[in-house]
Amino acid sequence: MRHDVTDLNQTFAALSDTTRRAIVARLAEGEAPLAEVAAPFQMSLTAVSKHVRVLSDAGLVSVTKRGRTRYCRIEALPMRDAINWLNDYQRFWDTQLEALGTLLQDENEDD
């Protein structure tokens, strides 16, 4: 299993759409047929199917055909890679939040 930069491109791109993140959230509650995945959305089944395709191309979802039904499942490993990338920058929001905290504290020093 290789992981290169283009994988991260795909992962982040897949997650950059509200509908697709909602699909991931839905699938976190369990495997579901495409039609059920699509139900909450106003768009066509075809459109949702495309979104699922984007997710499965990115490896975030797997689709298994049983009978005439396609069952969709979450595959979270690419998200772990994304988190691993993001974690390198954690120190920045730590220090920036700290600075913000200090600022607020200074502002309240006259209490």
Does 68 help bind DNA (rule: CB under 7 A)? yes
Enclosing H/E stretch for 65: strand 61-66
User: The tokens 């975030």 sit on which residue?
Assistant: 60
Does 64 help bind its own copies (rule: CB under 8 A)? no
* Neighbouring residues of 43: CB distance < 8 A, sequence distance ≥ 6: 19
Query: Which of 45, 47, 77, 99 forms a contact with its own copies (CB under 8 A)?
Result: 77
Which residues from 92-111 bind DNA, rule CB under 7 A?
Answer: none
Instruction: Give the whole-angstrom CA distance, residue 107 versus residue 5.
Output: 44
- Residues forming contacts to DNA in the complex (CB under 7 A) are 13, 16-17, 19, 33-36, 38, 42-47, 49-54, 63, 67-71
